[in-house]
Structure 1
Amino acid sequence: MRWIIAAFYTAAAIAHLVAPDKLLSITPSWVPFAPQVIFLTGLFEIAASAALVTGTLRSWAGIAMAVYAVCVWPANIKHAVDGIDLPYITNSWLYHGPRIALQPVIAWWALYGAGVINWPWRR
């Protein structure tokens, strides 16, 4: 599970670093210094993914990834509500609905994969 979520976060990092203008369109207007935030979150996603799979600061990486998953929820909601087209992502509620609903699962996954929690299964 740890490797899979690290791969998802790394893919997101590449998008943040390669196509920040696309992600700027889904960033809520109240986010200060949005271009810089997008760049820094890309770097964060790479660092957190590496920490998660290498074991260096694994617990902290899992906690940070979970908090980050909650923090990007407003961008996911804006993406859905405003119907913003992004490359390689369908602009349909068949994507947006589950994506928004499963955001807490992504936060749980980061915590579970990092070994911070063991709910609902004990290791």
Structure 2
Amino acid sequence: MDKQAIGLAGLLATSGTLHFLVPRPFDSIVPRSLPGSRRIWTYASGAAELAIAAAIVVPRTRKLGGLAAAALFVGVFPANVKMAVDWRHATPAKRAIAYSRLPLQLPLIAWARRVAR
């Protein structure tokens, strides 16, 4: 398997696992406009990350997994915006983390698209 696919699958698997092991930070960035429990959204997005990681690992489903990863990175952008807004008065370190997540989505989307090819 190529290094690009392994790296992306590892990133998604790690993040997906963290959604279940330490859900509170993820709950806090779920946009309030989404219906239902924030925890359900945290678990659903974690499960999606794990499923996409598995799809990327399997050569036959890698293209679909890469495209799904790109869509996921687009879909979680509102959570990153919420984090940036919520942390605008936080410590400089927290602000740096929150603000750096916004442009980070673009290389993540590009990475996922490369894996899909």
Is the structural similarity TM-score above 0.5? Answer: yes
Q: Report the TM range for the smaller structure's normalisation.
A: 0.7 to 0.9
Cα contact 2:30–2:41 (8 A) shared by 1: no
**Preserved contact between residue 51 and residue 57 of structure 1 (Cα < 8 Å):** yes
In the alignment, which of 109, 113, 116 is matched to residue 111 of structure 1? 113
| Cα displacement (A) at 1:38 | 1.5
Q: Where in structure 1 are there 5+ consecutive unaligned residues? A: 85-89, 116-123
Alignment match of 1:101 (pick from 103, 107, 113): 103
Q: How does 1:6-85 map onto structure 2 within 5 Å?
A: 6-33=9-36, 34-83=38-87
Q: Structure 2: 5+ residue runs without aligned partners?
A: none
Larger proportion of helix:
2
TM-score (norm 2): 0.83
Identity within the alignment, %: 29
Aligned length: 109
CA contact (8 A) 1:80 1:91 kept: no
CA-atom RMSD, angstroms? Answer: 1.7
After superposing on structure 2, the runs of 4+ consecutive aligned residues of structure 1 that deviate more than 6 Å are none
